[in-house]
Structure 1
Amino acid sequence: MRSPLARCVAASALVVFLVGGASGCAALPSASSPVPTSTASTPDPSPSAADPTPDPSVSPEPTETPSDGFGGFESGELAQICIDATLSAFPADVAFTIEDTRIEKRSVAPEWLVLVPAQASGLEAQAQCTIGGSPSAPELGMSSASLEPLPEEQIENLIRGENEGGDR
């Protein structure tokens, strides 16, 4: 009996072989003879059982493209604004990990929750900010320095605009 890992590797290899083989079967443009074309429209083929059908109840998550940034901001800009706002609250030996910054779109203003991980005095730390406005005129809402990362439940509260400062 094969292990689940062996079955997974074998299935992956089969998929790669089939996809690679199918693309290798296409005729080369130089080897094909001219084919007459028609200007008549043909109906779209009906979906087959192999075609994935999108689930209408699941909406795709919006993604920010690098050109869009985050409301005009780039992720590094948001991280730096948050670091600048919280730096004085951390010990002098703080080291931020900007590339691991987590940015969440909030349902309230300011629209961005920015969580910048850091190391401070040997502890996992985190700069936490809410930022809105524009890159030329950023608006800082909450800014906080913590010697431990926020729990996911609190992050979800902040995304909804709840419990900012402990009393909402």
Structure 2
Amino acid sequence: MRSPLATRLAASALAIVALGGAAGCAADPGASNPVPTSTATSAPDPTPTTEAPTAEPTPEPTASPAPQYGAFTFEQLAQICIDATVSSYAPDVVFDIPNTRIEQRIVTPEWLVIVPAATMGYQGQSVCTIGGTPAEHQLELGSGSIEQLPEEQIQNLIRGENEGGDR
């Protein structure tokens, strides 16, 4: 006579052997591919979908610095502002040129340039108004600060209002 536990173990062993026999071809290396193949078939579908959006934004950042801002490029305006304000910061300052904001103003100089900066653990920004040409640029406002300008003040600068009391 067998105990109930021995019977269950024997039945489990028999089931494992039966499953192994029924899926005997699954033990072959070539036969194990059909199961993962169906799983792999669903995996490549999301892969092209994921790759397509990744591939599209890559040209956009490359294209965004290329547009001209009057006679200037994105990089030229950012660098003019950095050069004008770098002395306002500690020597550890790091400028975030890719996140520079450039707005066209309705007054001269026509470009408002805001370059994010990090110094001494603070997040600040350099703010400049620039016009003219790259060879002979006109810098009216050049300020570096560890404080962020509120959007309302940025809009005032775009309109040429409240620039130190001269307008």
TM-score w.r.t. the length of structure 1 is: 0.59
- Corresponding residue number in structure 2 for 1:110: 109
Larger Rg: 2
TM superposition shift of 1:79? 0.4
CA–CA distance in 2 between the matches of 1:144 and 1:116? 10
Matches within 5 A, 1:10-159: 68-159=67-158
Q: 1:139 to 1:167 in 2, by over 3 A?
A: closer
TM superposition shift of 1:164? 0.7
Q: 1:163 to 1:156 in 2, by over 3 A?
A: same
TM superposition shift of 1:67? 6.0
| Aligned amino acid, residue 74 of structure 1 | T
CA–CA distance in 2 between the matches of 1:146 and 1:65? 26
Q: 1:166 to 1:122 in 2, by over 3 A?
A: farther
- Corresponding residue number in structure 2 for 1:49: none
Aligned residues: 106
CA–CA distance in 1 between the matches of 2:67 and 2:93? 31
RMSD: 2.0
- Corresponding residue number in structure 2 for 1:52: none
- Corresponding residue number in structure 1 for 2:45: none
Q: Which moved more, 1:101-110 or 1:142-151?
A: 142-151
> By percentage of residues, which structure has more helix?
2
Task: Find the residue that maps to 2:85 and give its secondary structure.
Answer: helix
Q: 1:66 to 1:85 in 2, by over 3 A?
A: closer
**Unaligned regions of 5+ residues in structure 1, if any?**
1-63
TM superposition shift of 1:149? 1.4
CA–CA distance in 2 between the matches of 1:132 and 1:105? 10
**Unaligned regions of 5+ residues in structure 2, if any?**
1-62
TM-score w.r.t. the length of structure 2 is: 0.59
Q: Deviations over 1:13-58 (max 9, x none)?
A: xxxxxxxxxxxxxxxxxxxxxxxxxxxxxxxxxxxxxxxxxxxxxx
Q: 1:69 to 1:90 in 2, by over 3 A?
A: same
CA–CA distance in 1 between the matches of 2:65 and 2:120? 34
- Corresponding residue number in structure 2 for 1:164: 163
| Aligned amino acid, residue 161 of structure 1 | G
